[in-house]
Structure 1
Amino acid sequence: MKYTLMINEGPYQRQSSDTALHFARAVLAKGHEVIRVFFYHDGVNNGTRLSVPPRDDRQIQQAWSDLAKAHSLDLVICIAAAQRRGITDAKEAKRQGLDTDNLLEGFRISGLGQLIEGSVEADRTLVFGG
């Protein structure tokens, strides 16, 4: 089975990002494929490297990054939602005249077309968060 996941909430707002992360781990462990994880709305906050949760708290952003490395996952941050929330990669930071970027390793910024493409390629598209 092939899945595309869409995450609409930030890592510490509710359980959506946690639940999606656990789901992705479980389906990968069962031999299924995660074609793409698309972060939209406040979900783009899963891709910032500047969030510093307490050490005894869940390290959700890093967990996504680690999972992407381990399984070559395509973690896509919506560009429009990211720009509204101050998340940028090096290319976009330069284009906007910013002095730094803050995209976490393993994530990339792109448009909604990536969600559509992932949904077309997947057997199932699951949405996490309102």
Structure 2
Amino acid sequence: MKFTIALFGPPYSPASRRALRFAEATLAGGHEIVRLFLYGDGVYSASANQVAPQDEQDLAAQWREFIARHQLDGVVCIAAALRRGVLDEQEASRYGRPGASLGEGWELSGLGQLHEAAQNAGRLVCFGDH
């Protein structure tokens, strides 16, 4: 089965941890992930500047490692990202900000990418506050 996974909760939330474990189990079960989509506070999981306290799991780093290891399509809602200061080089330049903060493996795109992925998957599974 094909899945699209949408994460709305920040990287320090139980929702992020559950989403990552679900994604791992999905692939381990022989299923496919069409796209990982970050929206709302979920975009913080794509920030290269997230630093977890020493006594907590670094879920943002785990997400980066996961999408790199499995060569997954990781998309971050551009509107939500801009609002939260998660920028790629192009957006940082466009808005005159000192630097990019989007982590490796993620790309900024519109909400239409979530819609498209949901259409191409058998299931859309959402995690988070909204």
Aligned residue for 1:11?
11
- State the one-letter code of the partner of 2:7: I
- Measure the CA separation in 2 of the matches of 1:94 and 1:60: 28
Give the Cα–Cα distance (whole angstroms) in 2 for the partners of residues 15 and 53 of structure 1: 14
| 1:74 paired residue number | 73
Shift of 1:23: 0.3
Cα distance in 1 for residues equivalent to 2:55 and 2:65: 18
Match of 1:128 in 2: 127
Spell out structure 1 runs of 4+ moving beyond 4 A: none
Corresponding position of 2:19: 20
What amino acid is the match of 1:9? G
- Letter aligned with residue 86 of structure 1: G
Q: Kindly report which structure 2 residues correspond to 1:1-130, keeping only aligned pairs within 5 A, or say none.
A: 1-12=1-12, 14-129=13-128, 130=130
Identity %: 44
State the aligned residue count. 129
Shift of 1:56: 3.0
Give ranges in structure 1 of 5+ residues lacking alignment.
none
Counterpart AA for 2:4: T
d(CA) in 2 for partners of 1:9 and 1:23? Answer: 14
Q: Secondary structure at the match of 1:37?
A: strand
- How far residue 96 of structure 1 moved from its aligned partner, in angstroms, is 1.1
Normalised to the residue count of structure 1, the TM-score between the two structures is 0.96
Return the alpha-carbon distance in structure 2 between the equivalents of residues 94 and 64 of structure 1: 26
Deviation digits for residues 64-111 of structure 1, max 9, x if unmatched?
110111111111110000111111001111111112000111111100
For the aligned residue pairs, the C-alpha RMSD in angstroms reads 0.9
